[in-house]
Structure 1
Amino acid sequence: MINLNRFDLVSLRLYVAVVDAGSLTAGAGRFGISLAAASKRIAELEQHCGFTLLQRGQRGVIATANGQVLHRLAIEVVARLEQLVLEIDDLRTGAAGHLRLWANPSAFGGFLPRLLSAYAEQHPDVRIDLEDALSEDAVRAVQKGVAELAVIGDNVPCEDLETFACNVDHLVLLVPADHAMADAQSVRLERVLDHDLITLARTASLTRKVMAAAEGLGCAVRIRVQVRSFDSMCRMVACGLGLAILPRAAAVLYAGALGLHIVALEGLDVQRRLLVAMRSRALLSPAAAALVDMIERDLAE
């Protein structure tokens, strides 16, 4: 039997960092220790487990089959440890709980601010840690225990996570007031793809949705500018740098202020579903569970 007392939480956390970075050097740097110290800790962990954890090569390291199992289980341990630390800190500071939420730009530009305002009013003593991130990054944050909840696009892989739909919006086209399509009731995607587009990063779930629709039509997407927020997208459109496809809720926020026109889209699935993702509902902290309950009540009304 393995002696549990010999399992070092510091080494487990380091191992997760190394595998995630794909490099012993990068993992050590993220952890703030020397390469020699990191190598020694990983070697001791391998000796304690009784098998090789990392396959080393010129381009870095990857986990062996056994190492992948340990990585998955270590993430669970590290996530619970971080939650323990946060809850102890909340007790020490008098906070009633800690909500750790990552959400994508569609959530920030749509339903999330109103929801969190109501949540903060009902739970004034809960500390809210909120991160604006791409859906893929938000998924990784939940998988690693950095966040308890994430709001993501419905076309994002989220293995091992529980999800449910929390919001539905529709994609629209945003154009300058003097554009040839400004007065149209609707336009087909093929016509839109003849123009330069302002998008989020290519890895963003919204951008990938548009690119997948374009590929289905046999068209290319002419991305002129990639930005990190809907605010920046709309400002680029207002400056005449291109057109933008984004959720209606976000478009409405900026169209009037920037003198832009909203045009309906045809030729693609314009429905945009957002999901709440979590590692396990049964393991949610009271603060996170309260937000999930609030979202479900809103959906039922």
Structure 2
Amino acid sequence: MRFDLVDLQLFVAVADSGSITHGATRAHLALASASARIKGLEAGLGVSLVRRRRRGVELTAAGESLRDHARLIMQNVAMMQGDLAAFASGVKASVHLLANTSGLSEHLPRALAAFLRENPDISLDVEERESTDIVGAIAGGAADLGFAAEHALPEHFERFSFGEDRLMLVAPKRGEFSGRRQIDFVDVGNHDFVGLTNATALAMHIAKHATRLGVRLHVRARLRDFDAICRMVAAGVGIAVVPEAAARRCAQSMPLTLLAIRDSWANRRLVICARSFKSLPKPAKFLVEHLRKVAR
């Protein structure tokens, strides 16, 4: 059968809202037209896609499969439109990359800057996400590539190692942690913290494991970058958890004590990942080749 993009857009809207009425509104269609289009899809495919309930609809197994495929198709259409529109502004291609907090702030900037210098016809759309969210977005076709902690990836994802991301505790140079080299995170629960803003992926990662350990974080200040956090720590506001690269860089100019966190969640292998490197668009393949070369 021939698929109409309007039908697919409508079906995704219905699936997301759980209602034909709300889906029709999102797709800017009349309810009667939307209902007829859903029935037409079911007739053409020969399967039921939704179960109609008193309050909305729920997807059948076939409906869930169609929803996933339709999302990929609509994403590819949007990417096609974006790439074609970019020709008018002189940019010939773009790559959508998702990265966790450490990757975005510490590991990727220099590598991506070099790539952009070497490839003036390619633009990058880089977005910060938690590693588990990156997996979901790539699986759903919402991004080309991911920079994530390997532990969050499913087995079928392709990946290659980019580096290690060890989280460290930073404390004032002169304080109770002076002279110590390692610590268990559960032992710092009664201290004031300086942290990242709640929206960042790393802040959510730390908070999740603190909750699991029963550690209640008393955050005195939240800032958006590691240098500012370390300056607060050096001034005696509290302690903080930051990536090792940022901790060691800041310790060169600030009075800080660095402690390795013994918990396993504080040691992460960072990888570049995709559903399939071979199936990526050419611009994304170029970026993959560049990142392979600069990976440590």
Q: TM-score, normalised by structure 1?
A: 0.77
Matched, 1:150 2:146: yes
Determine the structure 2 residue equivalent to 1:221. 215
The alignment partner of 1:280 has SS state of: coil
For 2:8, which of 3, 9, 12 is the aligned residue? 12
For 2:132, which of 132, 136, 140 is the aligned residue? 136
Determine the structure 2 residue equivalent to 1:234. 229
Deviation of residue 103 (structure 1)?
A: 1.1
Does the Cα contact within 8 Å between 1:136 and 1:156 map onto a contact in 2?
yes
Determine the structure 2 residue equivalent to 1:250. 246
Determine the structure 1 residue equivalent to 2:186. 190
Q: 1:27-42 alignment to 2 at 5 Å?
A: 31=26, 33=28, 36=31, 39=35, 41-42=37-38
Determine the structure 2 residue equivalent to 1:72. 68
Deviation of residue 79 (structure 1)?
A: 3.2
Does the Cα contact within 8 Å between 2:157 and 2:274 map onto a contact in 1?
yes
Give deviations 1:238-274, integer Å, cap 9, x for gaps: 4866533232123345556775543222243542112
> 1:229–1:19: structure 2 CA closer, same or farther, 3 Å change rule?
farther
Query: How many aligned positions are there?
Result: 292
Deviation of residue 154 (structure 1)?
A: 1.9
Determine the structure 2 residue equivalent to 1:292. 288
Deviation of residue 109 (structure 1)?
A: 2.0
Aligned residue identity for 2:214? A
Matched, 1:171 2:174: no
Deviates more, 1:67-76 or 1:193-202: 193-202
Matched, 1:122 2:118: yes
RMSD, aligned α-carbons: 3.7
Does the Cα contact within 8 Å between 1:236 and 1:242 map onto a contact in 2?
no
Deviation of residue 116 (structure 1)?
A: 0.6
Give deviations 1:35-75, integer Å, cap 9, x for gaps: 83655544443343333323455776542111122122223
Identity %: 30
Q: What CA distance in whole angstroms lies between the structure 2 residues aligned with 1:145 and 1:49?
A: 23
> 1:123–1:264: structure 2 CA closer, same or farther, 3 Å change rule?
same
> 1:224–1:19: structure 2 CA closer, same or farther, 3 Å change rule?
farther
> 1:296–1:231: structure 2 CA closer, same or farther, 3 Å change rule?
same
**Structure 2: where are the runs of 5+ without partners?**
none
Aligned residue identity for 1:234? I
**Structure 1: where are the runs of 5+ without partners?**
none
> 1:92–1:71: structure 2 CA closer, same or farther, 3 Å change rule?
same
Deviation of residue 102 (structure 1)?
A: 1.6
For 1:108, which of 104, 111, 115 is the aligned residue? 104
Does the Cα contact within 8 Å between 1:97 and 1:286 map onto a contact in 2?
no
Give deviations 1:102-128, integer Å, cap 9, x for gaps: 211110122100111110111122122
Aligned residue identity for 2:270? L
Q: TM-score, normalised by structure 2?
A: 0.78
Q: What CA distance in whole angstroms lies between the structure 2 residues aligned with 1:203 and 1:64?
A: 35
